[in-house]
Amino acid sequence: MEALPKVTKAELLEKIKTGKYMLFFSAGWCPDCTFIKPAMPEIEAEYKDFTFLSVDRDENIDLAIELNVFGIPSFIAYENGEEIGRFVNKDRKTKQQVEKFINELPVAAE
């Protein structure tokens, strides 16, 4: 998973303007983030149509605020620069919950 450096919202939107992206907001001190991290390689492998980006919430606090991410771990899905779904709260998330979230995202017309 690519780690997103410190970026502004405008820089993020430029980076993700084409394709499907999943932002994974977390922090090193967060026990619920540590809980889901071991499952992330499997989730990434299962959903190859998404590019997963790891976002350090503390390093990107301004971005998190702009995107209304006030709990971690959290996930925001984008397609061609537009948000298509979010799983954002402060609760612990299981692999099954993250997969359910991704499976329920809208599918763009081809």
Greatest Cα-to-Cα distance within the chain, rounded to the nearest angstrom: 41
Each residue's pLDDT tens digit, 56-102: 999 999 999 999 998 999 999 999 999 999 998 878 899 999 999 99
The CATH architecture assigned to 2-103 reads: 3-Layer(aba) Sandwich (3.40)
What is residue 88's predicted lDDT score, i.e. its pLDDT? Answer: 87
Report the alpha-carbon distance of residue 68 to residue 9 in Å, rounded. Answer: 12
pLDDT at 109: 46
Residue 108 has pLDDT above 70, yes or no: no
The pLDDT value given to residue 101: 96
CA dist 28 and 21 (Å) reads 22
CA gap 100, 80 in Å, rounded: 22
- 12-61 pLDDT, tens digit per residue, is 999 999 999 999 999 999 999 999 999 999 999 999 999 999 999 999 99
Cis bond upstream, residue 31 (ω within 30): no
